[in-house]
Amino acid sequence: METDLQTVTAWLTGQEGKAPPLTDAAFHALYADLRRLAASHMRRENAGHTLSATALLHEAWFRMAAQQTPEWKNRSHFLAIASTMMRRILVSHAVAKQAQKRDAELVSLTLSETEQLGAQQAPDVLAVHEALLAFAAVDERAARVVELRFFGGLANDEAAAVLGVSLATVKRDWEFARAWLRRELAAA
């Protein structure tokens, strides 16, 4: 496993700091990590979402492969960018779905279906996205920690490596961000 990680990191960083184009071999080497990220993102979505984890993974891969001059520092950095790309895809999807709802026809509901509407639901991706944007204005680095930890599924040490800060700084930023976002989403 360690050899695979070293090989992937060496491939991602490429020659002279320039990453080679994303290939099928790279896709297969990174697939398990990307699948874990996509599944993590999809767990936070409502049931019945029209995107699957696999579709999210593939869409993110295609968008990243289309980038002209990527400069990935290491595997963790690549996964952090992939996670950010997945989040952007989900936000775009949610915005498009809201636009469709405004133009949708009215639908009749049964009594049991209306009871489900009143059930407590997790904040939707747009509310989290907007809260994170507002938080980035307060503390940009801590907002980046949220992206890496919450959306990217990175551990504290991996997030610290990507951001180039100490482990203690990441832990402090994570606690601050969680408290701030919890308050913000509760008020929404």
Query: How high is the pLDDT of residue 145?
Result: 92
- Helix runs in the chain, H state only: 2-13, 24-43, 53-65, 75-102, 111-117, 125-138, 140-146, 156-163, 167-187
Residue with more model confidence, 10 or 183? 183
Look at residue 120 and tell me whether its pLDDT is greater than 50. Answer: no
Per-residue pLDDT tens over the stretch 131-148 = 888 999 999 999 999 888
The continuous run of DSSP H or E covering 119 comes out as: none
Place of tokens 């498009």: 96
Question: For residue range 54-85, what is the model confidence (pLDDT) as tens digits?
Answer: 899 989 888 887 877 677 777 788 888 888 88
CA dihedral 36, 41, 43, 47 (to 10 degrees): -130
pLDDT above 70: percentage of residues in the chain: 73
Reported as a single tens digit per residue, the pLDDT across 153-168 is 788 998 898 889 999 9
